[in-house]
Structure 1
């Protein structure tokens, strides 16, 4: 029988109704594995390739033949918006088959959740944080809710692989499986995976199954790509140059621009007119600032406001309104967004995506590119790179257009090698260990230390953590009242621990700042960090508001809307660049290659940068003398290699070469003063790296580098160990120094 013939009749009808003439190859491959084997499955294929249907068509067909006696499948999605979107996509199909589909997260009504609790069945769509809350508060009900659980589908699995959130998800699946006495098959879905084999092993941890990864040739996709550069003020790099255009652009118009307008935003304003677009930015602050500026353009040009806003600090009402309006095919609207609209939410026929500056990862670039180009159209992205024009007397590193190089490197790595960042699975997750320890103990009540260790340390994600480390953690938590010992010698959550676990913020493991809810009358606008005093202004939801009152006890800000523009602030937004991207940036600076997607100003700016780099040696030499005792080092290392290099220079090399005043512009370059010459610097680096350094030696005295959310509750020795052995990338430093030894002709 063909895979189509194995589908349930209602699934076949769904396919006929949608006019699909044949199954896609990924749907055939997934159907074969789900229906004919008992193994796990990892589906990797481009955005809009039908991965969700590939997984659910056979699952629903199996459920139609043999309905599960509880929830039969959990779908875990990284975003509430993605859960909502997939719920709407699956609900009509499941209704036809009489299979209930439920969604569960913070914005879902209690009445909807209560129905599931009364009659657990079908498919449950949930975020990792809501699953954590369920295990914490519905602990005794887990066997009844999931006693016949057969599948766990993890969507956008790549988004969970570069931090504790992916580890939390695996721990939750394992804890739930043990409680319910089940071993569900795991299915991972992703459009952008750097090393599927490693991810497959990660997915299978603790299941006793293999993960099958079908090699599916997808249909060739076309891109329409352009990249333009703008100085925020003054003349542009490409003025008076021949007009080079990678994409046909709209006829130029002379729009009214706000005072001190940013020409890059004027370019976006013009080229979104009459189109349905997304504008991606890299932080919530920038999202607010860009939206406010674009709305000012509308005001000055007497146009209706055609810009929406979407980011994680906005209220659910604001986010869902933007999603709903973007799905309206008759409206030509543009939404300015962070990564919240990067993942697989279907917001209709998008014509164009803009990216302001460069994203941090190839994966993110591909996800954002994949938002457009659905329904037979080519994907289309316009990069808009902005920078302040370097001053005439600026030192060399400030004259390099880092964001332009980064954007080109991201694109070229994928075009040339199909390279995407590999997962980061080699960390020492002590922060998550604290979190899961407290969660398990809160859910179970009193436990002996041995029983607690048996439930937590045996979770496969903690395979690198020793029993000795766990004893250190438990002793510290007892001393700080996060845990308390009972008269019988058991452990319970202490008073300090209760304050942590009773907060709704405990469900998540990603870092977040203390937030204040912003309200105008009865309307909730979103949240901000560090509220200004009354009378000051804040920017949120794409408008400016005057603060009327700050209720610090309830964490609420009351305000009113006013005209104007102010910067927004939501907290830090660090980037995570891979070393391979920095290395490709160096090649961009060195090579003589032209890239067909660069437009006039970008071509001129890159040509200028290459000339400067060639003259100064920056393209080939890692160490440049800026004048006198001032030096610049270009290590071309990713974020965590760069951090390790800083420490290596300060702690190991610096004392011997008179290196002082190291000032980093992470992860691009560092400047310092130095008594020694270049040859001595390289010889000293080589000598020190050959000493086989322990990463713990790269910690500063008395330093406790809190990097993850719950590090503040850990003993200092575990925080230091986790940062040194799990964050700092000493291997990249060793590789780079040995390269210098070759290029600088430094001997043994």
Structure 2
């Protein structure tokens, strides 16, 4: 029997109604794995390839044959917007079979949630944070809600493997399964997985099952890709140069912009007119600045405002408005967004995506470009790289356009090698260990130390945590009153712990800044960090507001809309770049290849950068003298290996080399003053690399490096250990030093 014939009649009807002529390869493979094995399944295929349907067609067929007596499947999505989108899609599919679809997150009405609690059934769509809240506050309901749970579908599984959030998701599934007495099959979905085998093992952790990974031959897809470079002020790189226009089929000019405009933003302004587009940026601050500027251009040109905004600090109403407008086939508006619209939300027939500067990962580039190219259109992305023009006498390293080189490297890594970042699963997740310990105690009530350890330590994500480390943590939490010891010797949540677990912000393990909610009269605008004094201005929701009152006790800011342009207040937005990206950046500067997607300014700027690199020798020699005793080191290492090298030089080598004034631009270069010659620098590094190195030696004296959300509640020794052994890329650093010694 083929897979289509195996589907339930209502699934077949759905396929007919949507005029599908044949099942896609991913749907056939998923059906075979779900119907004919009892294994977990990892489905990796391009964006818009039908992965969600591939997972749910066989699941719903099995449900129609034997309806679960509780919630039968949980769908875990990383974003509320993705949950909302999939809720509508699944409802269409399930309505005829009378299989309820529930969604549960912070913006869902309590009445909807109450109906699920009274009648646990069908499919539950939920974020990791809301599932944590459910386990914490509805502990006694878990058996009834999930006693016949058969599947857990994890969407965009790659996005949950970048840190503690993926670990939390695994812990939640394991805790829920143990409480409900079930062992559901797991199905992971993703378009951008760098290491399928490792991801498959991660998906199966704690289940006792293997993971089936269907190998789907990707059909060739034609990309419409361009990359242009702009100086924010001054003449552009290609001025007065004879450079052939790249990609003439796209008919792109690079000089269309409102008078006196920032040329890069003006370029976006002109090329979004009459089209439905997304503009991706790498931070919420930039999202606000770009949206405000584009709206000012509309005003200057007497055009109606056609720009929307979408990021995590906006209120739900602003985000949902942008999503609804983008789904409307009749409207041609552009949304400026961060990663919040990067993942699987179907927002209709998008014609074009823009990316301001380079994203940090190949995965992010693919996800963002994958927002376009649906409904039989080719994926289309325009990179817009902006930089301040270097001063006329500027030297290395500021003469290198790092973002342009990074953008080219990301594209080439995928085009030539189909490479995507592998997951990093070898950290020491002490912050998450604190979180899961407190969640377990808060939901279960009093537990003996042994009973608590037996519930937390066996969770598969904590395989690197030793019982001794856990004892150190518990003793510290008792001493700091996060945990209290009862007269009977049991453990309960203490006063300090109660302040954490009683807050809705406790459900999330990703780091959040202290935020203030901004309001204009009764309308909630969103949140900011570090509000300015009364009378100052803030940027939020693509507009400018003047602060009229700040209520620090209730974390509220009252404001009125005004005109103008100011920076936003959201805190930092660091990026994690893989070593392979940096190594490919070196090759971009070293090779003479032409890239057909580069536009005329980018071609000229790359030629300048290659000339500068060749004259200096920076791609062949890692250490370059900038003049006198000023030096610049180009390690070509990713973020965490770069961090290790920076500390290794400072703490182990600097005294012997007379090194001072070390200044890093992570992860591109390190500048410093040095009295020793170049040969001595490499000799000392090689000598010190051969010495035994305890990673703890790379923690600065008195430093407690707080990286994760709950690090501040951990004993200092565990924070240092987690940073030294779980974050610093010491092995990569050592390999790079050894390679320098061979040259």
Contact 1:25/1:218 (<8 A) preserved: no
Aligned-pair distance for 1:392?
1.8
Shift of 1:262: 1.1
State the Cα deviation string for residues 165-213 of structure 1 (Å, max 9, x = none). Answer: 0000000000000000000000000000000100000110110000000
Which stretch of structure 1 is more off in the superposition, 250-259 or 513-522?
250-259
Listed one character per residue, the Cα deviations across residues 448-471 of structure 1 (whole Å, up to 9, x for unaligned) are 000000000010100100000000
Aligned CA distance change for structure 1 residues 600 and 253 (closer, same or farther; 3 Å)? closer
> Displacement of 1:111 after TM fit?
0.3
CA shift at 1:616, angstroms?
0.8
Deviations 1:358-417 (A, max 9, x none): 000000000001000111111000000000011122231000000000000000000010
Distance in structure 2 (CA, Å) of the matches to 1:251 and 1:515: 41
Q: Does 1:313 align with 2:309?
A: no
Which consecutive residues of structure 1, in runs of 5 or more, have no partner in the other structure?
Answer: 744-748
What runs of 5+ residues in structure 2 fail to find an aligned partner? Answer: none
* Equivalent position SS for 1:397: coil
User: What residue in structure 1 maps to residue 143 of structure 2?
Assistant: 143
Cα offset, 1:252, TM superposition = 5.6
Tell me the SS of whatever aligns to 1:398: coil
When normalised by structure 1's length, the TM-score is 0.98
Partner of 2:19: 19
**Secondary structure, in 3 states, of the residue corresponding to 1:524?**
strand
Instruction: Provide runs of 4+ in structure 1 moved above 6 Å.
Output: 253-256
The answer to whether structure 1 residue 7 and structure 2 residue 13 are counterparts is: no
Aligned-partner Cα distance in 1 for 2:241–2:26: 47
Instruction: Note the C-alpha offset of 1:254.
Output: 8.2
Partner of 2:359: 359
Task: Look up the match of 1:639.
Answer: 639
Judging changes above 3 Å, is the alpha-carbon distance between structure 1 residues 247 and 74 closer, same or farther for their aligned structure 2 residues?
farther
Distance in 1 separating the partners of 2:499 and 2:621: 54
2:420 is paired with a residue of what secondary structure?
coil
1:305 is paired with a residue whose SS is coil
* CA distance 1:254–1:211, shift in 2 (3 Å): closer
1:211-256 superposed Cα distances (whole Å, 9 cap, x missing partner): 0000011322110000000000000001112342225455769877
* Secondary structure, counterpart of 2:397 in structure 1: helix
Tell me, in whole angstroms, the C-alpha distance in 1 between the residues paired with 2:599 and 2:742. Answer: 37
Q: How far, CA to CA, are the matches of 1:219 and 1:698 in structure 2?
A: 47
Distance 1:21 1:254, change over 3 A: closer
Residue 691 (structure 2) aligns with: 691
Can you list the C-alpha shifts for 1:249-282, whole angstroms capped at 9, x where unaligned?
Answer: 55769877375x3100000000001111000000
- 2: CA distance between counterparts of 1:221 and 1:434? 45
CA distance in 1, matches of 2:392, 2:581: 29
Distance 2:95 2:396 in 1: 64
Q: Is the 8 A contact 2:531 2:569 kept in 1?
A: no
In 2, Cα distance between equivalents of 1:649 and 1:55: 50
* CA distance in 1 between partners of 2:333 and 2:170 (Å): 39
Structure 1 residues 566 and 487, CA, compared in 2 at 3 Å: closer, same or farther? same
Cα distance between partner residues in 1 of 2:254 and 2:695: 57
CA distance in 2, matches of 1:17, 1:724: 56
Deviations, residues 549-584 of structure 1 (Å, cap 9, x unaligned): 001111110000001111112011000000000000
Q: Superposed, which structure 2 residues align to 1:152-301 within 5 Å?
A: 152-242=152-242, 243-249=244-250, 257=258, 261-301=261-301
- Alignment partners' CA distance in 2, 1:419 and 1:693: 32
2:415 is aligned to: 415
Residue correspondence of structure 1 range 376-387 to structure 2 within 5 A: 376-387=376-387
Matches within 5 A, 1:555-704: 555-704=555-704
SS of residue matched to 2:247:
coil
Q: In 1, distance between residues paired with 2:194 and 2:320?
A: 31
Q: Quote the offset at 1:653 in angstroms.
A: 1.1
CA distance in 2, matches of 1:254, 1:622: 37
Question: 1-side partners of 2:309 and 2:603: how far apart?
Answer: 31
RMSD after superposition: 1.0
Structure 1 residues 235 and 197, CA, compared in 2 at 3 Å: closer, same or farther? Answer: same
Alignment of 1:54-65 (within 5 A): 54-65=54-65
Q: Is residue 257–residue 269 contact of structure 2 (8 Å, CA) maintained in 1?
A: no
SS of equivalent residue, structure 1 residue 344: coil
Question: How far apart, in 1, do the equivalents of 2:252 and 2:683 lie?
Answer: 58
Separation in structure 1 between the aligned mates of residue 692 and residue 152 of structure 2, nearest angstrom: 44
- Residue 398 of structure 2 aligns to a residue whose secondary structure is helix
SS in 2 for 1:399: coil
Matching residue of 1:736 = 736
- What does residue 746 of structure 1 align with? none
SS at match of 2:380: strand
Decide whether the 8 Å contact of 2:358 with 2:385 is kept in 1: yes
Residues 249, 271 of structure 1: 8 Å contact kept: no
Aligned-residue offset at 1:660? 1.2
Determine the C-alpha separation between the residues in 2 that align with 1:593 and 1:651: 40
- Using the alignment, how far apart are the partners of 1:119 and 1:348 within structure 2? 34
Question: How many angstroms apart in 2 are the aligned matches of 1:37 and 1:484?
Answer: 47
Structure 1 distance, partners of 2:642, 2:226, is: 30
* Partner in structure 1 of residue 43 of structure 2: 43
Contact 1:258 1:297 in 2 (8 A): no
Task: Please tell me whether the aligned partners of residues 257 and 263 of structure 2 are also in contact (alpha carbons under 8 angstroms).
Answer: no
- Alpha-carbon shift at residue 679 of structure 1 (Å): 0.3
How many residues are treated as equivalent by the alignment? 742
Partner of residue 396, structure 2: 396
Partner of 2:486: 486
Q: Relative to structure 1, is the Cα distance of residues 239 and 616 closer, same or farther in structure 2, using a 3 angstrom cutoff?
A: same
Counterpart position of 2:348: 348
1:256–1:297: 8 Å Cα contact kept in structure 2? no
Q: Partners in 2 of 1:26 and 1:623 — Cα distance?
A: 49
> Aligned partners of 2:524, 2:21: CA distance in 1, in Å?
47
Map 1:502-581 onto structure 2 (within 5 A).
502-581=502-581
